[in-house]
Protein backbone atom coordinates (compact mmCIF):
# COMPACT_ATOMS: atom_id res chain seq x y z
CA UNK A 1 0.00 0.00 0.00
CA UNK A 2 1.46 3.34 -1.06
CA UNK A 3 1.82 6.11 1.46
CA UNK A 4 2.53 4.07 4.57
CA UNK A 5 4.07 6.24 7.25
CA UNK A 6 7.77 5.38 7.67
CA UNK A 7 9.33 4.42 11.02
CA UNK A 8 8.95 7.23 13.52
CA UNK A 9 5.18 7.24 13.50
CA UNK A 10 2.57 9.89 13.07
CA UNK A 11 2.45 13.01 15.26
CA UNK A 12 0.46 12.55 18.46
CA UNK A 13 1.07 8.79 18.69
CA UNK A 14 4.36 8.57 20.61
CA UNK A 15 3.80 5.04 21.92
CA UNK A 16 1.64 3.34 19.31
CA UNK A 17 2.93 -0.23 19.08
CA UNK A 18 1.34 -2.64 16.63
CA UNK A 19 0.69 -6.29 17.37
CA UNK A 20 0.11 -8.58 14.39
CA UNK A 21 -3.37 -9.89 15.16
CA UNK A 22 -3.98 -12.52 12.51
CA UNK A 23 -3.62 -15.59 14.72
CA UNK A 24 -1.92 -16.60 17.96
CA UNK A 25 -1.59 -14.96 21.36
CA UNK A 26 -1.71 -11.32 20.26
CA UNK A 27 -4.14 -10.36 23.06
CA UNK A 28 -1.55 -11.28 25.71
CA UNK A 29 1.00 -9.00 24.05
CA UNK A 30 -1.52 -6.16 23.94
CA UNK A 31 -2.12 -6.60 27.68
CA UNK A 32 1.62 -6.68 28.39
CA UNK A 33 2.16 -3.51 26.39
CA UNK A 34 -0.69 -1.84 28.26
CA UNK A 35 0.84 -2.81 31.61
CA UNK A 36 4.17 -1.42 30.39
CA UNK A 37 2.52 1.92 29.65
CA UNK A 38 2.42 1.68 25.84
CA UNK A 39 -0.51 2.08 23.48
CA UNK A 40 -1.08 -1.13 21.54
CA UNK A 41 -2.90 -1.49 18.25
CA UNK A 42 -4.05 -4.60 16.42
CA UNK A 43 -2.58 -4.99 12.93
CA UNK A 44 -4.58 -7.00 10.40
CA UNK A 45 -4.38 -4.97 7.20
CA UNK A 46 -1.66 -2.86 5.54
CA UNK A 47 -3.36 0.39 6.58
CA UNK A 48 -3.04 -0.67 10.24
CA UNK A 49 0.75 -0.25 9.90
CA UNK A 50 0.51 3.51 9.51
CA UNK A 51 2.10 5.59 12.25
CA UNK A 52 3.54 2.69 14.28
CA UNK A 53 6.60 3.05 16.51
CA UNK A 54 7.16 -0.70 16.55
CA UNK A 55 5.54 -4.04 15.78
CA UNK A 56 5.19 -7.27 17.77
CA UNK A 57 4.83 -10.53 15.84
CA UNK A 58 3.41 -12.98 18.41
CA UNK A 59 3.56 -16.70 18.89
CA UNK A 60 1.03 -18.95 17.21
CA UNK A 61 1.03 -21.27 14.21
CA UNK A 62 3.63 -19.92 11.83
CA UNK A 63 2.22 -21.50 8.64
CA UNK A 64 -1.28 -20.12 9.32
CA UNK A 65 0.13 -16.72 10.24
CA UNK A 66 2.13 -16.49 7.00
CA UNK A 67 -0.83 -17.61 4.88
CA UNK A 68 -3.10 -14.96 6.41
CA UNK A 69 -0.41 -12.27 6.15
CA UNK A 70 0.00 -13.10 2.48
CA UNK A 71 -3.77 -13.18 1.87
CA UNK A 72 -4.17 -9.76 3.52
CA UNK A 73 -1.26 -8.25 1.59
CA UNK A 74 0.90 -7.68 4.66
CA UNK A 75 4.09 -9.66 4.02
CA UNK A 76 5.78 -7.29 1.59
CA UNK A 77 4.97 -4.29 3.79
CA UNK A 78 6.34 -6.00 6.90
CA UNK A 79 9.56 -6.85 5.09
CA UNK A 80 9.97 -3.33 3.73
CA UNK A 81 9.24 -1.60 7.05
CA UNK A 82 11.69 -3.89 8.86
CA UNK A 83 14.37 -3.10 6.29
CA UNK A 84 13.65 0.61 6.73
CA UNK A 85 14.22 0.40 10.48
CA UNK A 86 10.85 -0.19 12.13
CA UNK A 87 11.56 -2.01 15.42
CA UNK A 88 10.07 -5.51 15.45
CA UNK A 89 9.77 -8.05 18.25
CA UNK A 90 9.12 -11.68 17.33
CA UNK A 91 8.22 -14.31 19.93
CA UNK A 92 8.15 -18.03 19.08
CA UNK A 93 6.37 -18.09 15.68
CA UNK A 94 7.26 -14.41 15.32
CA UNK A 95 10.93 -15.31 15.68
CA UNK A 96 10.50 -17.92 12.95
CA UNK A 97 9.06 -15.31 10.59
CA UNK A 98 11.77 -12.74 11.30
CA UNK A 99 14.61 -15.24 10.94
CA UNK A 100 15.78 -17.51 8.15
CA UNK A 101 15.42 -21.22 7.49
CA UNK A 102 13.40 -23.64 5.38
CA UNK A 103 11.43 -22.14 2.53
CA UNK A 104 8.18 -23.28 4.19
CA UNK A 105 6.71 -21.27 5.69
CA UNK A 106 7.86 -18.15 3.86
CA UNK A 107 10.10 -16.01 6.07
CA UNK A 108 10.66 -12.29 6.27
CA UNK A 109 14.38 -13.12 6.55
CA UNK A 110 15.23 -9.87 8.34
CA UNK A 111 17.54 -11.38 10.98
CA UNK A 112 20.59 -13.42 9.85
CA UNK A 113 19.97 -16.47 12.03
CA UNK A 114 18.47 -19.89 11.27
CA UNK A 115 15.31 -20.56 13.27
CA UNK A 116 13.99 -24.13 13.26
CA UNK A 117 10.26 -24.72 13.82
CA UNK A 118 9.04 -26.98 16.68
CA UNK A 119 12.63 -27.95 17.45
CA UNK A 120 11.88 -28.82 21.08
CA UNK A 121 9.11 -31.22 20.05
CA UNK A 122 5.33 -31.21 20.13
CA UNK A 123 2.90 -29.64 22.61
CA UNK A 124 3.61 -32.22 25.32
CA UNK A 125 7.29 -31.24 25.29
CA UNK A 126 6.41 -27.66 26.27
CA UNK A 127 8.05 -26.48 29.49
CA UNK A 128 8.97 -23.47 31.57
CA UNK A 129 12.32 -22.73 33.13
CA UNK A 130 13.89 -19.86 35.10
CA UNK A 131 16.85 -18.52 33.11
CA UNK A 132 19.18 -15.63 33.83
CA UNK A 133 19.12 -13.34 30.81
CA UNK A 134 21.41 -10.48 29.89
CA UNK A 135 18.75 -7.87 30.62
CA UNK A 136 19.45 -7.30 34.30
CA UNK A 137 17.58 -8.43 37.38
CA UNK A 138 16.66 -11.89 38.58
CA UNK A 139 16.01 -15.00 36.51
CA UNK A 140 13.23 -14.76 33.94
CA UNK A 141 10.57 -17.49 33.78
CA UNK A 142 10.87 -18.61 30.16
CA UNK A 143 7.84 -20.49 28.83
CA UNK A 144 8.55 -22.66 25.77
CA UNK A 145 5.49 -23.93 23.82
CA UNK A 146 6.27 -25.99 20.71
CA UNK A 147 9.25 -23.71 20.66
CA UNK A 148 11.67 -23.10 17.81
CA UNK A 149 15.45 -23.19 18.19
CA UNK A 150 17.98 -20.72 16.87
CA UNK A 151 20.99 -22.57 15.50
CA UNK A 152 24.35 -21.50 16.95
CA UNK A 153 26.74 -19.98 16.29
CA UNK A 154 25.10 -16.68 15.48
CA UNK A 155 26.90 -13.99 13.46
CA UNK A 156 29.02 -11.58 15.54
CA UNK A 157 26.74 -8.67 14.71
CA UNK A 158 23.84 -10.41 16.52
CA UNK A 159 23.74 -9.81 20.28
CA UNK A 160 22.83 -12.90 22.31
CA UNK A 161 20.90 -11.86 25.43
CA UNK A 162 20.08 -15.34 26.71
CA UNK A 163 20.83 -19.01 26.15
CA UNK A 164 19.49 -22.36 27.32
CA UNK A 165 22.00 -25.18 27.20
CA UNK A 166 24.00 -23.36 24.54
CA UNK A 167 20.97 -22.56 22.40
CA UNK A 168 20.31 -18.83 21.90
CA UNK A 169 16.80 -17.97 23.14
CA UNK A 170 16.84 -14.15 23.17
CA UNK A 171 18.59 -12.08 20.49
CA UNK A 172 18.90 -8.49 19.42
CA UNK A 173 19.94 -7.50 15.91
CA UNK A 174 19.73 -3.85 14.89
CA UNK A 175 16.03 -2.94 15.23
CA UNK A 176 14.91 -6.52 15.89
CA UNK A 177 14.34 -8.52 19.07
CA UNK A 178 13.74 -12.29 18.91
CA UNK A 179 12.62 -14.64 21.68
CA UNK A 180 11.98 -18.36 21.22
CA UNK A 181 9.80 -18.34 24.36
CA UNK A 182 6.67 -16.44 25.46
CA UNK A 183 7.44 -13.47 27.75
CA UNK A 184 3.86 -12.22 27.35
CA UNK A 185 2.61 -15.19 29.42
CA UNK A 186 4.36 -13.91 32.55
CA UNK A 187 3.85 -10.79 34.67
CA UNK A 188 7.50 -9.86 34.09
CA UNK A 189 7.65 -6.87 31.74
CA UNK A 190 11.43 -6.54 31.36
CA UNK A 191 11.56 -7.89 27.80
CA UNK A 192 8.60 -5.82 26.62
CA UNK A 193 10.22 -2.76 28.18
CA UNK A 194 13.47 -3.61 26.41
CA UNK A 195 11.53 -3.63 23.15
CA UNK A 196 9.86 -0.33 23.98
CA UNK A 197 13.34 1.14 24.49
CA UNK A 198 14.13 0.10 20.89
CA UNK A 199 10.98 1.87 19.74
CA UNK A 200 11.85 5.25 21.26
Active site positions, annotated = 92, 182, 184
Spatial distance between the Cα atoms of 196 and 164, rounded to a whole number of angstroms = 24
**Burial class of 83 by CB neighbour count within 10 A (0 to 12, 13 to 18, 19+):** exposed
| CB atoms near residue 20 (< 10 Å) | 28
Spatial distance between the Cα atoms of 112 and 103, rounded to a whole number of angstroms = 15
Q: Kindly tell me the sign of the dihedral angle through the C-alpha atoms of 102, 83, 90, 69.
A: negative
Find out whether the peptide bond into 105 is cis, omega within 30 degrees of 0: yes
Spatial distance between the Cα atoms of 118 and 116, rounded to a whole number of angstroms = 7
Return the SS3 of 178. Answer: strand
Amino acid sequence: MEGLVPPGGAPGEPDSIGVLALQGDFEMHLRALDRAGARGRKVRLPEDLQGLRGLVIPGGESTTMVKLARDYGLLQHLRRLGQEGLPMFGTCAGAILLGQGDSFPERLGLVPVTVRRNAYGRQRESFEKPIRLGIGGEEFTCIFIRAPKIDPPVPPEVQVLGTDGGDPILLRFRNFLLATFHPELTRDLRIHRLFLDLCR
